[in-house]
Amino acid sequence: MKNFSQGTDSNKTPNSFKDPPLEPNGSDVTHGAGDSRPAFSFLSESIPTKEAWEILSKISNQSISDQTKSLLNAIDAVIGITKETTGGYGRIPPLHAYLDEDGSVLIEWIIGDFRIGFNIEPNTEDSGWHMVSNKKMGENTFSGQLLDKKQIIRLIDTIIKNI
């Protein structure tokens, strides 16, 4: 770990990450643990976000549930596009999610020499992402908020294309 770089917390719209989730068919997502996954479900392979989606049934806080769905929908959408263009999930590793003792959700994406974490908190301004890399990749640590959905999608897209 060499560097810590953090995004700023100011000048953001607190609820911007609660925009309607990115889905290929543009449908709305309902609350709760119902079927809110994107339309592209590929039964022949294990979907990388499968485990992370399962955490939804354990979440009692509505804001955390909404943010988690929105994030997973965005990740699924990007993964789905990759799947359609490459014909498979390839080396995309699974996301791991769990409910923390304080009720928040932590989602981790462990990709060899680096890992990405997303923490989902009741207050959207406290939700964030973190990236940590090992010595081979510069021992960098970055973090930021989850408020700008376009940037998050861009981040996910860049990561997936380089796995």
Which one, 29 or 111, has the nearer CB to another protein? Answer: 111
d(CA 81, CA 30): 23
Question: Is-contact 67 90, C-beta < 8 A?
Answer: no
Contact status: 155 vs another protein (CB under 8 A): yes
- The rounded Cα 117 to chain-centroid distance in angstroms is 8
CB of 127 to another protein, least distance (A): 7
Question: Is-contact 7 143, C-beta < 8 A?
Answer: yes
Question: Is-contact 69 36, C-beta < 8 A?
Answer: yes
Contact status: 33 vs another protein (CB under 8 A): no
Question: Is-contact 122 61, C-beta < 8 A?
Answer: yes
Contact status: 158 vs another protein (CB under 8 A): yes
Binding mask 99-138 for another protein (x = CB under 8 A): -xxx-x-x-x-xxxxxx-x-x-x----xxxxxxxxx-xxx
Using CB under 8 A, list all residues that contact another protein.
Answer: 1, 4-8, 91, 93-94, 96, 98, 100-102, 104, 106, 108, 110-115, 117, 119, 121, 126-134, 136-138, 140-148, 151-152, 154-155, 158-159, 162-163
